[in-house]
Amino acid sequence: MSGVSWGQPLATLLSRRIPVRGLEPGPVTGVGRMRWGDGTVMLVTAARPGELSRILRTLASRRSLTLATYELGEDGPLLTLRGATGREPVRVIVVGRDQPD
């Protein structure tokens, strides 16, 4: 995946502080479909075990979850989210754009 294709959408999510609105199962095990408040949808996987469940717990508690930082890497963009439950920030890797299952 080219990091360049995600640069502008991620910059917009960051600068406008657009919140995550949902996380659903993705097309394969270990991948989630992350939905943002502006309609952006991306497929993500956990950077560390348990990260997707922390996102779900945060969303269930009605706390706001927004993009804190991102890095464009070879495996895909690495997103760090702010507002998650727990001490460590949540980090996920974008593995693709949303697509039909």
Pairwise CA distance, residues 44 & 88, whole Å? 18
Nearest to 54 by CA among 101, 88, 93, 100: 88
Which tens digits make up the pLDDT trace of 51-89? 999 999 999 999 999 999 999 888 889 999 999 878 889
Instruction: Give the span between the Cα atoms of 61 and 11, in whole angstroms.
Output: 26
pLDDT digits (tens, 9 = 90+) for 16-27: 999 999 999 998
Q: Where is pLDDT greater, at 71 or 101? A: 71
The string of pLDDT tens digits covering residues 2-58 is 444 777 889 999 999 999 999 999 989 999 999 999 999 999 999 999 999 999 999
